[in-house]
Amino acid sequence: MDNFSSYGSTSGTPTLNRETVAESLKVIEMQAAIQQQEMLVQTINDKCFKLCVQTPGSSLDSSQQKCLAKCVDRYVDSWNCVSRTVTNKIRQHSNMQ
């Protein structure tokens, strides 16, 4: 039995069934989500730290902590709103086809 027989191909070229495609899409979506989370964390670190901590020290004072908390909350809310909008647009587009 060759490596491609599980894909249902008899011509030597693998064909993908719906389950295989669905599994592949799930993996791709998970990888994209991880990459987005990494980008979010990096951006928050860059933007919020620069905004809230003008003079870095060994610890954050209470005003810096409050500023960072508000900045992160706002950025995450914005990120989620944009993500939902993009996801909905993609779903609408895929449903039209």
Q: Which domains are seen in the chain, by residue range?
A: 17-96 (1.10.287.810)
Contact 79, 40 (CB under 8 A): yes
Mean pLDDT of the chain: 83
Residues 14-48 have pLDDT tens digits of: 667 888 888 888 889 889 889 988 988 898 889 99
Q: What percent of the chain has pLDDT over 90?
A: 35
Tens-digit pLDDT profile for residues 34-86: 998 898 889 888 999 999 998 888 999 999 999 999 999 999 899 889 989 98
What pTM, to 2 d.p., does this model score? 0.58
